[in-house]
Amino acid sequence: MSLLREGFPHIAEKSLQEEIAEHGRVYDYREGQVIMEYGSYIKKVPLIVSGLVKVMREDENGRELFLYYLEKGQTCAASFTCCMMHKRSYIKTIAEEDTVLIGIPIRYVDEWMVRYQSWKNFVMKTYDDRLLELIRTIDKIAFMKMDSRLLDYLENKAEVTGSSVVEVTHQQIADDINASREAVSRLLKQLERSGRIRLGRNRVELLEV
């Protein structure tokens, strides 16, 4: 209950809060744990209470592509449609940090849409956010060059982890932005030379420009 209020201040109706408390179940994930695999059926919609969840997609050749992060107070837009239509998951989610979430059985997700204004808004907003981000991502892939994608990735990661020091290997970055490790290394070197970041092993520190 207190978990709810902390992460989801917009879910206002008292009775809705009570229903969430009643039907939802709290799940704990340790860093690195896979929350949802490709192809699995989803029976709960996750409300992220704390931590950070990485959402990935897999292409035909089995290559993984990083899509976006889910933070506290968010939920997975894909899970709504997925479970309502009883489709298999086309995404995979991993706990990037230790994560706590409340799982809501789908039937309530549906029911509450008509009964609770704030729930409906929440669901709509989730879609809206995702759609906007998707459009931005398309823009990025279409128009942005690798170097700005890289910087964008780092800034996003820094923001989402709340630290200017990002702990990743060049290989991980490369996987996430779909580039080769060497390319990432070279671009990072450039950024370091231009004074925008400082590099270390498993470490990229973003400097104020």
Q: Which residues in this chain contact DNA in the complex, by CB under 7 A? A: 145-147, 169-171, 178-180, 182-183, 185-186, 188-189, 199-203
Least distance in angstroms from the C-beta of 71 to DNA? 25
Output 104 or 204, the one with its CB closest to DNA. Answer: 204
Listed in sequence order, the residues at least 6 apart from 205 whose beta carbon sits closer than 8 Å to its beta carbon are: 164, 165, 166, 197, 198, 199
Output 82 or 177, the one with its CB closest to DNA. Answer: 177
Rounded to whole angstroms, the Cα distance separating 9 from 3 reads 10
Least distance in angstroms from the C-beta of 94 to DNA? 16
Output 16 or 166, the one with its CB closest to DNA. Answer: 166
Least distance in angstroms from the C-beta of 187 to DNA? 7
Least distance in angstroms from the C-beta of 143 to DNA? 11
Output 40 or 171, the one with its CB closest to DNA. Answer: 171
Output 107 or 189, the one with its CB closest to DNA. Answer: 189
Angle between helices 117-143 and 106-115 (to 10 degrees): 110
Listed in sequence order, the residues at least 6 apart from 122 whose beta carbon sits closer than 8 Å to its beta carbon are: 8, 10, 11, 75
Rounded to whole angstroms, the Cα distance separating 7 from 125 reads 15
Both tokens of residue 155? 């800034």
Rounded to whole angstroms, the Cα distance separating 8 from 49 reads 8
Least distance in angstroms from the C-beta of 154 to DNA? 13
Looking from the CA of 45 toward its CB, the CA atoms found within 13 Å total 27
